A and B are shown apart, each in its own frame.
Chain A
Amino acid sequence: MRGMYAVYRKEMGHYFVSPVAYIIVAVFLIITAYFFTEILTGYMQASFQASMEEAQFGGGQAFDVPSLVMRSFFGVLSTILLFITPMLTMSVYAEERRRGTMELLMTSPITDLEIVLGKFFASLTLLVIMLLPTGIGFIYMLRHSEPAAPWRVLGSEYLGILLLGGALLALGSFFSSVTESQLIAAMLSFGAILMLWVLNFGSGATSSAWASGLEYLAAFRHYDDFTRGVIDTSNVIFYLSFIFLGIFLTVRSVDSMRWRRA
């Protein structure tokens, strides 16, 4: 697995030597920070109004602001990932194919799997680096919330976003490996992810076997439980098998480059 580590290091270097990573991370953080502030102030106002009403009229509803903020925020976050992950993965193979560096990797004593895993873990690391700063707001919020806030829910939400992100990255890497054009790679993975997202809304209408099959495929539906703080093994397995399938297809696609007309 030394080859995998070498590829991983090279990919991380590529992300952070060029301005690509900095720009993607910066844009991501600006957008998420905006949503976090909006959602937090929104719920705080609602909670404040509710307590005012309670004082005036009695009764009223108790607000669990931290949980609501986290759920809404992570809901928004999954939608932002839909746009960001194709940009993270579009170049991983397409650019190497265009520049001819794939020939270097494929004639070196490393296996196709090592190449694919090295690249996948690098993009996953970049995703983690992107997500880490979003935790700052939550840590602050949870420390100051009254009553004591559910840390476990936050953990489940981050696990969920990581699994969802990993699945989308595996999918995007595959699409990058089938073309030499970054734009085509980005469009294909964006389209595929969008389809998986749309399935989430459309499949509830009917109850045929088709519909339930499609419903199962809706990658974002499996994420909902995580935002509620529920870690369901079946959801974890769904995402892990999604990632394995993506990696498997990418390895096959890299191998097929040898058989196609060069």
Chain B
Amino acid sequence: MCDTCGCNITHGNEHLIAPGGKLATTASGHEAIDVLHNLLHENDHTAQHNREHFNAHGVTAINLMSSPGSGKTALLEATIKALGDEFRIAVIEGDLETENDAERIRSLGVTAIQITTGSACHLDAHMVHDALHNLDLADFDIVFIENVGNLVCPASFDLGQHSNIALLSVPEGDDKPAKYPVMFRTADMVMLSKADLLPILDDFKPERAERYLRELASSAPVIQTSAKSGEGMDDWLDWLREQVSNRPAQTQAPHSHASHTHP
């Protein structure tokens, strides 16, 4: 949604500002200014700027979101091993503390930028923007952004990515889409990770997880994978190749580009 074309005025909220609506008149003598600003405007503006930078270099940016410990870093390690020769990959890691995840990625010979958020429970577009200052985008085809492990807050912040992936690991239980609808609604693909545990944790029903997802009106594909056993990795890699081939055509760099230290 933006603030300029009026697309943020919807069926649901237009009655609030329509003549005679609750907000059309002021009860006090004070002057009232009607606005319809998206409160996340500042973040979304920077996210769009980030997206333009990715597009300018033909880079596909993928945001990974999930609970802590659901296998985001393990998925990236397996992906780098499988596709390291096919694509030039970089990773932006988000964690409250430590460089552990970035070091795991670097040990595979891949560039990783660690963002330590302190007590912040999500990445926002500004943090990713700062990380991009340390990344020469001309050198990469895919940038993975590993968000802070959290099924709540990351869902509300656009980072400038092209696709969102939500991982749901088998030990977490199959009803997570019903419990965290805001997160799972944003997913362009849902990955049921640690699928090698399905025979042991047989109360997790993949079809039930998918049904909960469909009830959020999401048509996102659901892929079962195990980074450990390799199960489903081909489906994931095919999905990823499709994202890269569907990425927007390389565009002109944003106007402000020259004044930045961005590549």
The yes or no verdict on A and B being binding partners is: no
| Residues of A that sit less than 8 Å from B by CB | none
| Residues of B that sit less than 8 Å from A by CB | none
